[in-house]
Amino acid sequence: MASLLFCGPKLAACGLVLSIWGVIMLAMLGIFFTTHSAVLIEDVPFTEKDMEDGPTALQNIYKLYNQVGYNCFIAAAIYVGIGFLSFCQVRLNKRKEYLVH
Amino acid sequence: MSSLFRSEEMCLVQLFFQTESAHNCISELGHLGLVQFKDLNPGVAAFQRRFVKEVKKCEEMERILSKKSTFEKLEQELREINRNHAALRQNLIELMDIDSLLRMTEDFFEEAESLLTYSEPPSEDSVFIAGVIKQERFPAFEKVLWRLFHGNFVLRHTEMQATEELQARGAVKKDVFIIFVQGDHVREKIRKVCEGFRASLYSCPKTLYERKQMSNSVMTQMEDLRMILRRTEEYRAGVLTRAAEHVQEWGSKVKKMKAIYYTLNLCNIDITQKLIVAEIWCPVSDLTLVQSALIKGSEQSGSSVTPVLNRIQTQQTPPTFNRTNTFTEGFQAIIDAYGVGTYLEINPAPYTIVTFPFLFAVMFGDCGHGLVMTLFAVWVISQAESLRKWKNEVLNDVVIGGRYIILLMGMFSIYTGLIYNDCFSKSFNIFGSSWCVRPMFHAHGNETLHEYHHLQLNPFVPGVYSGDPYVFGIDPVWNIASNKLSFLNSFKMKMSVILGVSHMLFGVALSLVNFVHFRKFQDIFLQFVPQLIFMLSLFGYLIFLILYKWCITLRSETAPSILLLFINMMLFDYQSEHVLLYRGQKGVQIFLVLTAVLMVPVLLLVKPFLIYRTRMKTRHQVGEKDHFICFLLQVSMGDIFVYQAIHTIEFCLGCISNTTSYLRLWALSLAHAELSEVLWRMVLQVGLKISSGMGSLMLVVLFAAFAVLTVTVLLIMEGLSAFLHALRLHWVEFQNKFYEGSGYKFTPLSFDSLLKTQQ
């Protein structure tokens, strides 16, 4: 059980903070991408070809928007995992500190 | 009445108390923390003062305590514990040697017995000796034995198994050996040899049964010893921790005593050696508190005479005391860092509480970064006490002392971030943009869209601009416009000038309050009014031009530049092709410039002239014979003229240079916005643009990099930079309009602050 601890208290705390920030920010980005916000147009990887076809041009762009949005949600889910891991490390570190004293 | 508006009124008080009660009284005053002792023996050198021996003794004790060594009794106890511990350890090692010896000699005995039975009949004087020797010495040992007995012996050895415990206690590798020889007389020789090689010999019983007995007893002894050792170590740890607690207590007591003796050195001892006279500065509103503290001190020491307080009038300037609480002391500290206010001068701190975070936020404006900063500040505030234990000087002073400043900076940054509509370089569209794209290209259809790379939204085309500006802040459409910077630069520069001139006008207005308080009514008309008129007629008019131009509708091709208008105004350059903003502008501008120019001689000449006139009058009254003395006592007129000239030039030229200096508000906010955009585009966008499944993994890694760079570059570096520039704007551009800052700070004898600095 003791060998499950692989990072010190500071690294674990940093990881926890980073994960919380990552979850919140990536989730919000995902929401903004899936609602096709115009401000984020420069972050969507569209090409000239997507804008060529007349009737489906808009749907192509929306599809790309949704893809990026789902990527963001998946990244947010990965950060949930990393956050949980960091939280466990923080708790293990606290327990180890408690034992020594 | 105490408030942050102005520094407190102080009084000089003489204290008389008895020598016996001196220690207790000063101790009580130290706990109160409200009086500053004046040095009554300024000419006396440090080593000549009365209590110099006591101070030295306290310093010695402080040094001893700071080395974390214990006092004698404790030291002895520890030595004894250590000795016992060492002895027990030695015992344990011996027992372990015996134990392994016994285990390993089992097979030796069998082998040896069989060998001896083959060669000779077993005789009573066959001797065997068993022992333990260091492994590295064994080969030499064997050689010596060979020479001694000419091969007439049996020697067997094995390496002793190094157990974990032995290795932990730092033992060396050892070998177990056993020698079988004939003849009793050789026992002494072998013993001498073994002594020479520092091998330890153990008596080993002959029969199996006895050996087993010995093995068992050795085991139980070892168990007992191990337990004793563990108990000893626990006891030692307990003694040390208890001593550590006491050391803290003793340390603070010694510090207090040293402070008291140092204070006593500042006082005067009466000729009868029974009375101590001290002079203290103390706030007028706290006199009753001081008196009650002295009474308590004298009661504690058991003296019958209460100390006497005697308030005296004095011409000396008292120290400046601003009563602050945890929230305001950070802001007061940054004001005092540049200069402590003159006694009873107006205190810039209450305005700084608002203007400093605001000017910081104008340079930092990003609601995402502001939110992170606010959350960080909230965490520091909630953990302030436990964070104080970190001994790092920088962190303690800057981060913990300034935690409320950081909180306000963060909150104001969220506000300006919403106005700039900038959150990690992206805008929010909360209220609906006022610009619409479709009406621009509706008429011409898709050809315009496909042919041209750069498209524009012309507000004069009906429908493109709705006519009502965005409700709060910058319209989000500007975030994706390619001429975003042209628009924002113009906006931010004009905003910086407006904020700068307002801040400086506020500073000039505060000087009026100072003049009224110090009853310098002449200065109001000779300094305040001309300065105000000069500033308003030039820079107030500039602000008017900016606001007027923002309010009216102009065609952008023919709109006049405000900077050019201002330059032409100063140069009286009115050519007919220049476009003006409103009718009658020429007349108004000429009038304003002439007024401003007229104020300069008023500032420069009127005050020295009046001083000259009053001097002439007093000289006539005093008479000719005192002429010489009067001349010597007064400052010469030349000096007064020069001083006034410097002041006038500083003000007039300073108006222009300080207004331009406020343009750093624009410059830093531009830098921050650009850095933020670069970080998004170069780091996070790379991950967002990958549309395949790998995009999410890249996004995880790149987001971590984005977060780290945001915190280090944008929050810490840009934050410190904006902090510094906002501070400079306060210290120089704002405070040189009214602040003198030539006082000295009130430093009371306070045990709380003394112990805090120790930690």
Q: Which of B240, B474, B699 to mutate to test the interface with A (most CBs of A within 10 A)?
A: B699
- List, for residues B177-187, the tens digit of each pLDDT value: 777 777 667 77
Q: Which of A18, A21, A75 sits opposite B699 (nearest CB)?
A: A75
A82: chain B residues, CB-CB within 8 Å: 700
> How confident is the model at residue B311, as a pLDDT?
87
**B426–chain A Cβ distance below 8 A for any pair:** yes
Of the candidate ranges A34-48, B31-45, B325-339, B740-754, the one whose mean pLDDT is the lowest: B31-45
> How confident is the model at residue A35, as a pLDDT?
94
Please judge whether B699 and A64 are an interchain contact, meaning their C-beta atoms are less than 8 angstroms apart.
no
Q: Is residue A24 included in any domain, yes or no?
A: yes
B696: chain A residues, CB-CB within 8 Å: 71-72, 74-75, 78
Residue of B nearest to A44 (CA): B689
**A53–chain B Cβ distance below 8 A for any pair:** no
| More confident position, B152 or B536 | B536
| CB within 8 Å of B243: residues ≥ 6 apart | B70, B74
Three-state DSSP at B449 gives: helix
**A21–chain B Cβ distance below 8 A for any pair:** yes
**A11–chain B Cβ distance below 8 A for any pair:** no
Domains and CATH numbers, chain B: 75-116+124-232 (3.30.70.2750), 327-434+469-737 (no CATH)
Q: Is residue A12 included in any domain, yes or no?
A: no
Of the candidate ranges B62-76, B287-301, B444-458, the one whose mean pLDDT is the lowest: B62-76
Please say if the pLDDT value at position B291 is more than 60: yes
For chain A, how many structural domains are there in total? 1
Q: Residue ranges of the alpha helices (H) in B33-71?
A: 52-66
B153: number of Cβ within 10 Å: 19
A67: chain B residues, CB-CB within 8 Å: 691, 695
- List, for residues A15-69, the tens digit of each pLDDT value: 999 999 999 999 999 999 999 998 998 898 888 777 776 778 888 889 999 999 9
> How confident is the model at residue B629, as a pLDDT?
60
Identify the band that residue B719 occupies on the pLDDT scale cut at 50, 70 and 90. Answer: very high
Please judge whether A42 and B426 are an interchain contact, meaning their C-beta atoms are less than 8 angstroms apart.
no
Three-state DSSP at B179 gives: strand
**A64–chain B Cβ distance below 8 A for any pair:** yes
- Residue from B689, B670, B643, B460 nearest B554 by CA: B460
**A23–chain B Cβ distance below 8 A for any pair:** no
- List, for residues B64-108, the tens digit of each pLDDT value: 666 554 566 677 777 888 888 888 888 888 888 878 777 777 766
Residue of B nearest to A15 (CA): B704
User: What angle do helix axes B138-149 and B186-196 make, rounded to 10 degrees?
Assistant: 150
**B688–chain A Cβ distance below 8 A for any pair:** yes
Q: Which of A18, A43, A82 sits opposite B707 (nearest CB)?
A: A18
Identify the band that residue B7 occupies on the pLDDT scale cut at 50, 70 and 90. Answer: confident
Identify the band that residue B238 occupies on the pLDDT scale cut at 50, 70 and 90. Answer: confident
> How confident is the model at residue B163, as a pLDDT?
61
Are A69 and A5 spatial neighbours (Cβ–Cβ below 8 Å)? no
d(CA B728, CA B736): 11
> How confident is the model at residue B104, as a pLDDT?
74
Q: Is residue A11 included in any domain, yes or no?
A: no
Please judge whether A18 and B426 are an interchain contact, meaning their C-beta atoms are less than 8 angstroms apart.
no
Half-sphere CA count of B691, side-chain side, radius 13 A? 14
Q: Which of A21, A42, A43 sits opposite B707 (nearest CB)?
A: A21
Three-state DSSP at B157 gives: strand
Q: Is residue A1 included in any domain, yes or no?
A: no
| CB within 8 Å of B174: residues ≥ 6 apart | B97, B132, B133, B134, B135, B159, B160
B479: chain A residues, CB-CB within 8 Å: 39
CA distance B362 to chain A (A): 23
What DSSP string runs through B341-352? PPTTPBPSHHHH
B690: chain A residues, CB-CB within 8 Å: 45, 71
Verdict on whether the full-model pTM lies above 0.80: no
> How confident is the model at residue B632, as a pLDDT?
58
CA distance A4 to chain B (A): 23
When pLDDT is averaged across residues B474-503 and rounded to a whole number, the result is 94
- Helix (H) or strand (E) holding B154, with range, is strand B153-159
- List, for residues B529-588, the tens digit of each pLDDT value: 999 999 999 999 999 999 999 998 888 888 899 999 999 999 998 887 778 888 889 999
Please judge whether B696 and A75 are an interchain contact, meaning their C-beta atoms are less than 8 angstroms apart.
yes
- Residue from B758, B750, B749, B756 nearest B251 by CA: B758
The alpha carbon torsion through B377, B381, B385, B387 (nearest 10 deg) reads: -10
Chain Cα centroid distance, residue B400:
6
Q: Is residue A92 included in any domain, yes or no?
A: yes
Q: Which of B476, B697, B703 sits opposite A26 (nearest CB)?
A: B703
- Residue from B570, B593, B731 nearest B658 by CA: B731
d(CA B227, CA B716): 54
Half-sphere CA count of B272, side-chain side, radius 13 A? 6
Q: Which of B703, B706, B711, B714 to mutate to test the interface with A (most CBs of A within 10 A)?
A: B703
Residue A40: give the domain boundaries: 19-98
> How confident is the model at residue A66, as a pLDDT?
93
d(CA A12, CA A5): 10
